[in-house]
């Protein structure tokens, strides 16, 4: 079961990191548009569509990655006070009641939206460039499927936690600066004491 969890998390990480390059494309397209619009006084007709699609692709395809890293926002005022077994039980039930129905709806209706878009070769109406957007609408059901696959891994993780009383460690990846500092403080409290130099 642990191998399956890590395989699914590895897939989610790979997809999230691959689509992370959208940030670079987004940054370059915004910078280019600002330069040609305000310095050369010659705005493009495609930059706005490029920005919307890159941001949309990043947002959709980073969902499974964020779930694999336990990075989604959680209202844990009471949850954090529960034992690991109770946290796992709550998560398990919530995945069944809310997560999977929502992700199935994203997949199902996203499939319909993408199919319609491919059928009539949809183009953007936001700019005169009228660029094709049916490729990007395909990401809606793909994101729903990836989130459901990662959800299966999360439920397996919950199952293990209910049995063992410990959360399975996640595959190590990049960390937020405050998380890194928190671990340094836990491991080396002398560095953060008032008497330290």
The whole-model pTM stands at 0.82
Q: Which residues, given as ranges, of the chain have pLDDT below 50?
A: 196-197
The pair of three-digit structure tokens given for residue 86, joined into one six-digit string = 């109770």
Give residue 84's pLDDT. 93
How does DSSP assign 14-39, residue by residue? Answer: HHHHHHTTHHHHHHHHHHHHHHHHHT
Give residue 176's pLDDT. 66
Angstrom distances, CA of residue 18 to CA of 21, 61, 111, 122, 165: 6, 9, 22, 25, 34
Domain boundaries, the chain: 2-188
Distance CA 3, CA 43 (A): 51
Residue 74: exposure state from Cβ atoms within 10 A (0-12, 13-18, ≥19)? exposed
The pair of three-digit structure tokens given for residue 50, joined into one six-digit string = 């490029």
- Nearest to 33, CA basis, from 121, 41, 122, 116: 41
Give residue 156's pLDDT. 96
Give residue 1's pLDDT. 87
Average pLDDT, the chain: 88
Give residue 22's pLDDT. 87
Distance CA 149, CA 156 (A): 11
The phi and psi torsions of 118 (rounded to 5 degrees) equal -65, -40
């Amino acid at each position: 079961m642990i191998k399956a969890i890590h395989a699914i998390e590895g897939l989610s990480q790979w997809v999230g990191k691959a689509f992370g390059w959208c940030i670079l494309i987004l940054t370059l397209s915004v910078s280019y548009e600002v330069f040609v619009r305000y310095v050369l006084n010659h705005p493009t007709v495609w930059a706005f569509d490029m920005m919307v699609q890159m941001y949309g692709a990043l947002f959709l395809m980073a969902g499974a990655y964020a779930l694999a890293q336990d990075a989604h926002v959680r209202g844990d005022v009471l949850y954090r006070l529960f034992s690991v077994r109770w946290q796992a039980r709550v998560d398990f039930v919530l995945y069944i009641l809310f997560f999977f129905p929502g992700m199935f709806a994203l997949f199902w209706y996203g499939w319909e939206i993408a199919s319609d878009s491919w059928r009539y070769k949809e183009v953007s109406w936001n700019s005169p460039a009228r660029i094709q957007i049916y490729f990007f609408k395909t990401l809606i059901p793909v994101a729903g499927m990836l989130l459901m696959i990662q959800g299966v891994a999360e439920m397996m993780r919950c199952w293990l936690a209910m049995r063992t009383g410990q959360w399975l460690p996640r595959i190590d990846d990049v960390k937020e600066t405050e998380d890194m500092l928190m671990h340094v403080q836990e491991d080396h409290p002398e560095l953060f004491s008032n008497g330290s130099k």
